[in-house]
Structure 1
């Protein structure tokens, strides 16, 4: 007897999403620990990787792009709590959806937010170290968690603006036929 397999649309992406959260979190924390304590980037900075990339030590007391800088302990803990609450809310959404792309986009954000929350808790600020630039143009300094969060947000936007309308169009004919019958 052959087991029935669920279609990709109905199969829960829960396990894959949880694995991605853990992978992002571990990769983020491992790179931070290595560059802070293994390689000691504080002493060896800047470490030039390419004509447009270097590794440097930057402590970000705010959120993405250095917004909302917090210099007080209260501000720091508000960001920690905000990151954890957002991670929990997005994590619940991630676990409830059956849409793989959406679940993975949410997983990227959750894994990154948790990685940065650990930094704020342990160090009082987020350790950023990847600096991209071209000539005099300088992109902000970021880390694995930041890159995952940005990719996850782009994924959410793509899902809501492109993929969800497609899914809605596919569902619409079956809904109309039920309404008529």
Structure 2
């Protein structure tokens, strides 16, 4: 009588084995993450370069008055000018965030999580670049902010990418969607079972 497969031989994570339908390729999700990160980073750096090249610090240029204007400032704090006395701390935090995203990137099996973490990575790297290479010194650089709405903090593209990523992160978490693309079981229910888990093999065995 053939031996039943051990637990180690069974496919895990809700994905089929290679012979019956291979898992969704990792590369797809890594490429989505990398593409979103690159888009956010490049757009952030290009807009900052344009602002620094064409405007003087403190200058205000109406765009859609009175709703939107460009207001060039240099921000030593975090997103939306928070914590202006902790520049080095924010530099270290952004390095840790970027490292954590890169560490978990290969585990992602969800397009939406790839998008969220991609924009978070791109935004973090965008502001980190300013911290490291802009005046007054390495690691203490002031971030270029320029997007201004009435009665609201001035921010940049990187800030927008970070906030958008966090919002999407919260939505996915509230919906119970894990980074592997599967829904996390609600409290009080058992783990999500694979299709066919309730069917026996014809002779009473599971």
**Could you say which TM-score interval applies, normalised by the shorter chain?**
0.7 to 0.9
Paired residue secondary structure (1:59): strand
Paired residue secondary structure (1:141): coil
Residue 126 of structure 1: aligned partner: 143
Segments of structure 2 that go 5 or more residues without pairing to the other structure are 1-20, 135-140, 186-190, 201-205
User: Equivalents in 1 of 2:75, 2:46: separation in Å?
Assistant: 18
Residue 157 of structure 2: aligned partner: 144
TM-score by length of 2: 0.70
Residue 74 of structure 2: aligned partner: 59
Segments of structure 1 that go 5 or more residues without pairing to the other structure are 1-5
Residue 69 of structure 1: aligned partner: 84
User: Equivalents in 2 of 1:127, 1:109: separation in Å?
Assistant: 18
Pairing partner for 1:35 from 51, 58, 76: 51
Pairing partner for 1:20 from 21, 27, 36: 36
Residue 153 of structure 1: aligned partner: 166
Residue 82 of structure 1: aligned partner: 93
Asked if structure 1 preserves the Cα contact closer than 8 Å seen for 2:80 and 2:159, the reply is no
Pairing partner for 1:174 from 194, 197, 201: 194
Paired residue secondary structure (1:164): coil
Residue 63 of structure 2: aligned partner: 49
Shift of 1:130: 0.3
Deviation track 1:131-152 (CA, whole Å, cap 9, x = no partner) reads: 012xxxx121111100000000
User: Equivalents in 1 of 2:171, 2:128: separation in Å?
Assistant: 26
Which structure has more strand as a fraction of its residues?
A: 1
Which structure has more helix as a fraction of its residues?
A: 1
Is 1:10 equivalent to 2:30 in the alignment? no
Q: How many residues align structurally?
A: 165
Larger Rg: 2
CA RMSD of aligned residues (A): 2.8
TM-score by length of 1: 0.79
Shift of 1:30: 0.7
Asked if structure 2 preserves the Cα contact closer than 8 Å seen for 1:91 and 1:107, the reply is no
Shift of 1:55: 0.2
Pairing partner for 1:93 from 97, 104, 114: 104
